[in-house]
Amino acid sequence: MKITALKTWLVPPRWLFLKIETDEGVYGWGEPVVEGRAATVEAAVKELADYLIGQDPRRIEHLWNVMYRGGFYRGGPILMSAIAGIDQALWDLKGRDLDVPVHQLLGGACRDKMQVYAWTGGDRPTEVAIGAKALVDKGFSAFKMNGTAEMAIVDSNRKIDEAVARVAQAREAVGPNVGIGIDFHGRVHRPMAKSLLRELEQFKPMFVEEPVLPEHLSSLKHIAQNLSYPLATGERLHTRFEFRDLLADGMIDIIQPDLSHCGGISEGFKIANMASAYDVALAPHCPLGPLTLAASLQLDAVCHNAFIQEQSMGIHYNEGNDVLDYLVDKTALSIEDGYIKIPSGPGLGVEINEEYVEERSKVGHRWRNPVWTNEDGSVAEW
């Protein structure tokens, strides 16, 4: 069996889909994308295709190393996201060829279903309490919210008070037993994080995500000592080597690799197993499309330290299309009582409606994240 083509489609709301085809008619789908840089990742996929055309797609580990090590420059969000989507498609292809789900190829499932959480509120959260209560009424036992809007490196106490008030409203609305993930989104710098992290302790968060920017994770030992709730990060880390250093530092309780950014299922599996050696939980990042979610669930199935899965159905970014729109069988990723059953179909366990993908690719997208400014006109973290 030989790879004959790598085909890509930019589709709404902000995704990039990939299909790998072979001379034997077996194929696989993946989702290589960086939010806001989809076209750049698409170009990287086309460059990596030079290493793949004519190769045996079943040699996944070998091809991964060719893509990663074959170029003198490696790592980073663009290259690792391109590799990630290709890797997902290769696993999907191999599973289809053998007529088994990917989790069977990774050792078999250790769970039947995966707890998931949903988002409430937008980038600048306001009425989060109403949205949180609505999610709980739908059967979710956990949700995530943005903790704060833009915040200067040293800002007013008012910004902290506003963030605390929003979390207080959410906690009051859902009661004490619903998990609340609070995403700082890297918007809070070290001087403000010290106070805010401790102010939130009274609400017993499920976790606080990206408490500081990835480039400042070393500061956690100074600002987060003795907190009684878990800290989570990892969506903007791209290799096992970055996660190795994070885990060795001992300040993170939950890692959140994104299987469309961290080198795919192959690298994600290594990262997850490495985290288990530090007794660190796994909660893959996934504000993306159906292929990233399906790949994440295949990984969750085989990782005992996986405890919850992000998914983006109904998220505020999904304008024009949502996660299930591109599936032939929408029940493959259906949520029941806050859980998704581990997909049991071959490969990633989902079938993409290629005709619909072609149709929506004519619309495409040029999604960009907002660029925010502080009150003085300086650029703020989004």
Query: In the chain, how long is the greatest CA-to-CA distance?
Result: 63
Residue indicated by tokens 């994770």: 217
| Overall average pLDDT of the 292-321 stretch | 97
Q: Are 138 and 164 part of one and the same domain?
A: yes
Across the range 248-274, mean pLDDT stands at 97
CATH of the domain at 57: 3.30.390.10
- What is the rounded average pLDDT of the residues 69-83? 96
- Residue 82 shares a structural domain with residue 112: no
Kindly state whether residues 47 and 168 are assigned to the same domain: no
Residue 47: count of CB within 10 angstroms of its CB: 13
Structural domain count, the chain = 2
Is residue 358, in this structure, part of any structural domain at all? no
Question: How many whole angstroms separate alpha carbon 309 and alpha carbon 76?
Answer: 24
The domain boundary residue, chosen from 100, 129, 154: 100
Write the CB contacts of 240 (distance below 8 Å, at least 6 apart in sequence). Answer: 263, 267, 270, 271, 274
- One domain for residues 119 and 228: yes
Same domain membership, residue 261 and residue 276: yes
What's the pLDDT score for residue 123?
67
Which residue among 100, 125, 158 closes a domain?
100
- 180, 324: one domain: yes
For 100-149, write each residue's pLDDT tens digit: 999 999 999 999 999 999 999 866 666 788 899 999 999 999 999 998 98
Task: Please indicate, yes or no, if residue 208 is contained in any of the structural domains.
Answer: yes
User: Is a pLDDT exceeding 80 seen at residue 189?
Assistant: yes
DSSP character string of 44-86: HHHHHHHHHTTS-TT-HHHHHHHHHHSSSS--HHHHHHHHHHH
Residues 269 and 168 reside in one and the same domain: yes
| Residue 372: Cβ within 10 Å count | 15
Q: Does 291 reside within a domain? A: yes
What's the burial of 207, exposed, middle or buried (CB within 10 Å: 0-12/13-18/19+)? buried
In a domain, 359, yes or no: no
Cα separation, 291 vs 288, whole angstroms: 8
Distance CA 81, CA 294 (A): 16
What tens digit of pLDDT does each residue of 198-217 get? Answer: 999 999 999 999 999 999 99
Residue 121: predicted pLDDT: 82
Does residue 348 surpass a pLDDT of 90? yes
Confidence of residue 352 (pLDDT cuts 50, 70, 90): very high
Q: Where are the alpha helices (DSSP H) in the chain?
A: 38-52, 60-69, 76-98, 102-105, 128-137, 157-174, 190-199, 220-223, 240-249, 264-276, 290-302, 354-361
- Residue 264: which domain range? 104-347
Q: Position of tokens 């088994």?
A: 100
**Residues recognised as catalytic:** 185, 285
Does residue 110 form part of some domain? Answer: yes
**119 in the same domain as 81:** no
Instruction: Examine the domain organization and report whether 127 and 50 are in the same domain.
Output: no
126 within a domain of the structure (yes/no): yes
Asked if residue 47 and residue 124 are part of one domain, the reply reads no
Burial of 154 (0-12, 13-18, 19+ CB in 10 A): exposed
Domain assignment of residue 379, yes or no: no
pLDDT at 371 over 80: yes
Q: Pick from 76, 100, 124: which residue ends a domain?
A: 100
pLDDT at 328: 98
Q: Is residue 41 part of a domain?
A: yes
User: For the domain that residue 282 is a member of, what is the CATH number?
Assistant: 3.20.20.120
Distance, CA of 60 to CA of 36 (rounded, Å):
28
Statement to judge: residues 95 and 114 lie in one domain: no
Region 77-81 average pLDDT: 98
Residues 142 and 233 in one domain: yes
